[in-house]
């Protein structure tokens, strides 16, 4: 996807200290990938997953961070530059939509780190095993850039659109936070625990839809093969595919993000319409 260079006047970016560490002996890349996805989707302790899967390789998490300016963070590597370009585009795309709807817009900040742990303001701390996530309390998008390498392995694509889909999805959660959808869903989950999983899946699918809307509104910047890359990434992190890859029985009651088909459909729906109102169908709250 051909994005303009980032504009530091339009984005908030930082890099947390990554706390480099080694994972010793017998843990393969594929094992770590599955452990990360399992932790992200099912809340499974990564060490339990690693202990259940044999591996032969060793990986090293690198340290990244320090007191860097936004310019320094954004130019620290290919992934950082790409993420900053995407964040600029996302802000430029969504701010006018909020203005038209009469809803106050606030830019999220992006925290890029690599390996180790990251501390949020209101959502506690998380290790790199948590994968990319959004913290509604501090309105931050947290991305361990090493996840992009792992995503390329499990999706079979190293293209940029798969990575852009990840940050656009997390940005979708920011939209849900600003519009009040996230708060309403959390209240519903507390009042009706039996619906909690279904509501969580709807949250994730709507975020996928919003990611597609952003891409659709920037259709003139999409390159050949981009959509296929995004769909393969969405398929690779569907709940049923993750369970199957981990050697588990497909258990719909354990779904939190939606099946591969659902995630692909949500992304495609947003992109083809380029209209955020199509994403309302996941909730009847507006």
Can you read off the two tokens belonging to residue 21?
A: 């560490």
* Domain chopping of the chain, boundaries: 12-282
Can you read off the two tokens belonging to residue 256?
A: 């939190």
pLDDT in tens, 37-58: 555 555 555 555 544 443 322 2
Cβ burial of 22 (10 Å; 0-12, 13-18, 19+) is: exposed
Q: What would you report as the CA-atom Rg of the chain, rounded to the nearest whole angstrom? A: 18
Give buried/exposed letters for 259-268 (b at 16+ CB in 10 A, else e).
bbebbbbbbb
CA 255 from chain centre, in angstroms, equals: 17
Yes or no: say if 262 and 200 are a contact pair by the CB < 8 Å rule: no
What pLDDT shows up at residue 284? 64
Distance CA 77, CA 9 (A): 20
Characterize the bridge pairing of strands 140-144 and 109-113.
Answer: parallel
Can you read off the two tokens belonging to residue 30?
A: 């594929």
> pLDDT tens digits for the chain (286 residues)?
999 999 999 999 998 854 322 222 334 444 455 555 555 555 555 555 544 443 322 223 333 345 778 899 999 889 999 999 999 999 999 999 999 999 999 999 999 988 778 889 889 888 877 788 999 999 999 998 888 888 888 777 667 888 998 999 999 999 999 999 999 999 998 998 888 888 998 999 999 999 999 999 999 998 888 878 877 777 776 676 767 767 777 776 666 787 888 898 999 999 999 999 999 988 864 4
pTM score over 0.85: no
What pLDDT shows up at residue 26? 35
């Amino acid at each position: 996807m051909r994005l303009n260079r980032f504009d530091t006047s339009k984005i908030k970016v930082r890099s947390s200290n990554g706390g480099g560490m080694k994972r010793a002996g017998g843990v393969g890349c594929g094992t770590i990938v599955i452990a990360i996805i399992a932790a992200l989707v099912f809340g499974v302790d990564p060490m339990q997953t690693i202990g259940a899967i044999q591996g032969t390789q060793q990986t090293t998490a690198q340290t990244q961070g320090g007191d860097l300016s936004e310019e320094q963070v954004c130019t620290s590597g290919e992934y950082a530059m790409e993420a900053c370009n995407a964040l600029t585009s996302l802000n430029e795309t969504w701010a006018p939509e909020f203005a038209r709807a009469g809803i106050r817009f606030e830019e999220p900040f992006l925290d890029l780190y690599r390996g180790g742990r990251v501390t949020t303001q209101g959502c506690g701390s998380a290790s790199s095993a948590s994968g990319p996530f959004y913290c509604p309390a501090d309105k931050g998008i947290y991305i361990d850039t090493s996840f992009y390498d792992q995503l390329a392995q499990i999706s079979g694509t190293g293209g940029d659109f798969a990575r852009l889909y990840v940050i656009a999805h997390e940005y979708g959660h920011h939209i849900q936070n600003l519009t009040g959808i996230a708060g309403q869903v959390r209240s519903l989950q507390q009042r009706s625990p039996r619906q909690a999983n279904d509501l969580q899946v709807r949250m994730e699918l709507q975020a996928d839809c919003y990611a597609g809307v952003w891409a659709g509104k920037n259709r003139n910047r999409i390159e050949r093969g981009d959509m296929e890359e995004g769909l393969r990434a969405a398929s690779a992190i569907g709940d049923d595919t993750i369970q199957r890859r981990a050697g588990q029985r497909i258990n719909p009651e354990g779904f939190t993000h939606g099946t591969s088909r659902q995630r692909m459909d949500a992304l495609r729906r947003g992109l083809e319409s380029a209209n955020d109102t199509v994403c309302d169908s996941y909730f009847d709250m507006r």
